A and B are shown apart, each in its own frame.
Chain A
Amino acid sequence: MRLPARVSGFAIALCWATQAAAQAARGPATIVIVTGAPAPVPIPTLMEGTQAAVANYEIADQLFLHLAGLGPTLTTAGDRDFVPLLARRWVRRDSVTVAFELDPRATWQDGAPVTARDVVFTFERARDPAIAPRTAGVLRRIMAVTAEGDRRVVFRFSYPYAEQVYDAVFHVAPLPAHLLAGLSQEELRRSPFLTRPVGSGPYRWVRSVAGEYIELAANEHFFLGPPAIRRVIVRVAADPDARINLLLSGEADAMDNVPPPLANLRRLGADRDVRLIPVPSPTLGYLLFNQRDPRDTSRPHPVLADPNVRRAIVLALDRARMVRAVLGDYAKVPYGPVPAILWIGHQAPPPLGQDLYRARHLLAGAGWADHDGDGMIDRAGQPLHLTLSLPVTSGIRRELGLLVQEQLRQLGVTVDVQQYDYPVFSERRTAGRFDIDFSGASMDPSPSGLANSWSCGGAGNVAHYCDPVVDSLFERASRGGANVADLWRAALIRIEEDAPAAFMYAPLYVYAVNRRFTNVTIRPESSWLALWQWTMGGAQARKGTGD
């Protein structure tokens, strides 16, 4: 038994020594962020198709600076509500031309200056559907990007609209032309740049360990001021419990979007080292009413094509109570299809509350009533029976779906809740094979994306909702003018009246961050965008070893 005892003793000593060495390497200026998905391709214009994942964008935002960023209100219309980044100012020349002047202090991490040529080169790639079909689609209204000298870039748009500056600054961050010009898409995919990108942002690439983490280091020469946090490690743990355990065990300092149930938030909130920070999220959950017959989408839905039935269902739901039960204070019932991140929801009216009397009245008007006294609503001998599809992977929608089923049962409507694996759920949704679909949407900060799901010809309008008045309001609002906010609000009011869906919840994402970090700001459009401005001021920072 001597040998096993010696081996065990050596192993324990080795483990202890390694742990001590790792702890010694953790200074107050290091942050370990734990997230759910890897970022295999965090390079602008390569994050396309299946790589258009949030994880890639969030790492890319640390490496590559945009021309400008969204302001505190996240307003995307007009030219003013943006903060300078690579561009120190911009000037409107006419209704379709904006000139950006680059900050002369901006450099690439290899020391080369950021020039107008870099911006032109990147937008040429980004606007080429063969290279970047996704980005080319969102930039379709940019007609030309040209350089005027080394420091000025001129954007010309195909017609006047409200989000020209947003289009120029939000979707693409410039790439270094001096390193990449002349490389084909395939050459770029195989180039060392992919494994060792050179950016202009506050952090530079250090290394990546497949399936485990990415390490970044502060860019000492960042022209807006070097970050106080010198070392950033982004760890990946797909399982939410594993992420929470890493935070509670002190192996991680920050975590994005703590998932439900609420017990997770309580568990983290009970830790005195952890601060919970709610942030407006881009997501929205809603019960989408199919207006076409799922068995034959050329025909109207036998029940839900009637707007009074849809309104009755909305009125029968106590959405505020359901949302509070499932998401606590970390979500609200939205007015219209507006997630918390969208600026057009800031002054929206309150959503409708539960009104069973009015709901029954509306149904009776459509011929639906309890004719046989069995407590369930029927018409011509047929009970009002609907199916509700939802993805089994969403805990929130599963819980809310059951509450919806119960509340509609009280109205006398039978709802059959059908849970599907996400790919199956999505396939059925796209094909229109549902009565009510518990949809979840994730949106950019721009309201222009609403047209995708709620206009007559919208590519994502799977329920075939169509109201030409709404389309007209969308079109006028996106064109801009003095009353843009009013036009968006009018569109929302019209949608609420049509009730193509019962808009259930617009959640806040809750971030968990160690208290030793101060000046903590989480940006809704990209979680760690402001990380370079964070500081260390907590008690543990003072105790820790410096680095």
Chain B
Amino acid sequence: MGRWLAGRILQALVTLVIALVLLFVLMRLAPGDPLAGLSEDRPLSPAEVASVRALYRLDQPITTQLAAFVSHLARGDLETSIQYGRPVSALLAERLPATLLLGGTVLLLNFTIGIWLGARQAVRRGGAGDELLTTLSLAGYATPSFWLGLVLVWLIGVRWRLLPAAGMHDPLLDPGAGFLARAGDVLRHLVLPALTLSVVSIAGTMRHQRSAMLEALRLPYIVTARAKGLSEAAVTWRHAWRNAFFPVLTLFGLWLPVLVTGAVFVESVFAWPGLGSLAFQAVGYRDYPLLMGASLLVAVLVVLGSLLTDLAYAVLDPRVRLS
């Protein structure tokens, strides 16, 4: 196990390095001037442009830029954002909590509700409830999240004024308010964006879980379990679901990086101060340091998601042996 883990971590690190070098080179080879968007409001003078280029080493060969990036990264420094003029690590740290809160809520809702509904559908396959949930899940899966977000915000936020239309905090709330008041404030801001993202993701998980569960329920050991006189709940959840969970576990690994990247449009529609919108703006401005910081985070999550999935298989599935 220890050797396997060390090998996997080494493999993950190599993957990360290759991904980062590729990203670094491709970003700089892509057309577009990183200073162009910044000077849209107030054009920079040629002297300023030259000084900013020198500051960010944009006037140097790509190999020199890469060496400097690696050298800074080795010291834990993600450099300074061109657009914000602040350390990238500080910007990412500021935005990460909002992203983790939204993404974590969506993951939680997705994998609890989605798994539960998908498994129940399979158990009661062919019934009216199954038909209805299948139709709803297909509709949910086919719904673009940004469109759903626009509809929800218009209806619930603007027309009925039941929940906030945008943001993560109400700026009018007393900054000295107690924990419960602040939690309630964040909660009511969280409902619409989380609902928007969850509808689509739950629908997908339901579909996967239903088909995996149907497959498991057909296997001979389920017949054996029933023949042994186990209750239907025990057959379903302790025996069938345990097997049917593994395909969804793979899905979880794939969803982990979506925590950061998946909510770009929804963050934009709801003015949610997360990483997705920050990274999206960085693309528009060709803010290389910020883009590299965000990419590094996503790459780490991709590798981590894959590693955690493998580990979870090893722990949960007795058929898997690590070597």
Q: Mark A409-441, 1 if CB is under 8 A from B, else 0.
A: 000000000000111111100100000000011
Q: Which of B264-304 contact A (CB under 8 A)?
A: 268-271, 273, 277-278, 281, 284-286
Rounded to whole angstroms, the CA-CA distance of A137 and B47 in the bound complex is 9
Q: Is the CB of A422 within 8 A of B36?
A: yes
Q: Is the CB of A212 within 8 A of B161?
A: no
How many angstroms from the CA of A407 to the CA of B154 in the assembled complex? 38
Cα distance, A53 to B171, chains bound together (Å): 23
Q: Report which of A30, A239, A424 forms a contact with B172, defined as CB distance below 8 A.
A: A30
The residues of A that contact B150 with a CB separation of less than 8 Å are 241
| Contact among B173, B183, B188 for A25, CB-based, below 8 A | B173
The answer to whether B173 and A18 have CB atoms under 8 Å apart is yes
Given contacts A242-B270, A393-B284, contact A52 B185 (CB under 8 A): no
By a CB distance below 8 angstroms, the chain B residues around A235 are 167, 171, 271
Residues of A within 8 A of B86 (CB): 40
Tell me, in angstroms, the Cα distance from A41 to B81 when the chains sit together.
Answer: 13
> In the assembly, what is the distance between CA of A17 and CA of B170, in Å?
13
A427 pairs with B36, CB closer than 8 A: yes
Given contacts A133-B51, A235-B167, A237-B166, whether A249 and B273 have CB atoms under 8 Å apart is no
Is A19 part of the contact surface with B, judged by Cβ < 8 Å?
Answer: yes
| Contact A32 B173, CB 8 Å, known A14-B187, A426-B33 | no
Q: Give min CB distance, A540 to chain B, whole Å.
A: 15
Q: Kindly state the interface size class of chain B when it binds its partner.
A: 35 or more
User: Nearest Cβ distance between residue B312 and chain A, in whole angstroms?
Assistant: 26
Instruction: State in angstroms the CA–CA spacing of A373 and B108 once bound together.
Output: 69
Q: Are B42 and A52 in contact, CB atoms less than 8 angstroms apart?
A: yes
| B184 in contact (CB, < 8 A) | yes
**Are B48 and A460 in touch, CB under 8 angstroms?**
no
Partner of A21, one of B39, B164, B173: B173
Report the minimum CB–CB distance from B138 to chain A (whole Å).
26
| Interface hub of B45, B47, B164, B180 (most chain A Cβ within 10 A) | B45
A239/B174 in contact, CB under 8 A: no
Set of chain B residues within 8 Å of A248, measured between Cβ atoms: 158, 165
- CB <8 Å contact, B165 and A211: no
- CB of B268 within 8 A of CB of A239, answer yes
Q: Does B234 contact A (CB under 8 A)?
A: no
B32:A22 contact, CB within 8 angstroms: no
- How far apart sit A412 and B42, CA to CA, in the bound complex (Å)? 37
Q: How large is the interface on A (under 10, 10 to 19, 20 to 34, 35 or more residues)?
A: 35 or more
Q: How far is the CA of A250 from the CA of B159 in the complex (A)?
A: 10
Assembly CA distance A215 to B173 (angstroms): 12
Contact of A422 among B40, B82, B169, B277 (CB under 8 A): B40
Residues of A within 8 A of B269 (CB): 239, 241-242
A1-45 contacts to B, CB under 8 A, are 11, 14-15, 17-19, 21-23, 25-26, 30, 32, 38, 40-41
Task: Give B230 Cβ to nearest chain A Cβ, in Å.
Answer: 25
Report B-chain residues with C-beta under 8 Å of the C-beta of A249.
Answer: 157-158, 161, 164-165
Contact bitstring B25-56, A, C-beta under 8 A = 1, else 0: 00000011111111111111111100110010
Q: Is B318's CB within 8 Å of the partner chain A?
A: no
In the complex, the answer to whether A17 meets B271 with C-beta atoms within 8 Å is no
Q: Shortest distance in angstroms between A508's beta carbon and chain B's nearest beta carbon?
A: 18
A54 adjacent to B41 (CB under 8 Å): yes
Q: How far is the CA of A26 from the CA of B173 in the complex (A)?
A: 9
Tell me the nearest residue of chain B to A37, going by C-beta: B41
Closest Cβ–Cβ distance, residue B79 to chain A (whole Å): 14
Would you list 27 pairs from A and B whose C-beta atoms are within 8 A, ordered by A residue?
A14-B183, A15-B187, A15-B188, A21-B177, A32-B171, A40-B84, A49-B85, A50-B35, A50-B52, A52-B41, A53-B38, A53-B41, A53-B42, A134-B45, A210-B273, A211-B94, A212-B169, A212-B171, A233-B171, A235-B171, A241-B269, A245-B157, A251-B166, A422-B36, A423-B37, A424-B32, A426-B32
With A32-B172, A209-B169, A421-B284 already in contact, 19 other A-B pairs whose C-beta atoms are closer than 8 Å? A14-B184, A15-B163, A15-B184, A18-B170, A21-B177, A22-B173, A26-B172, A40-B86, A52-B42, A53-B42, A129-B47, A213-B169, A245-B154, A245-B165, A251-B170, A422-B32, A423-B32, A426-B36, A460-B43
Closest 3 CB pairs of A and B: A426-B36, A423-B32, A211-B273
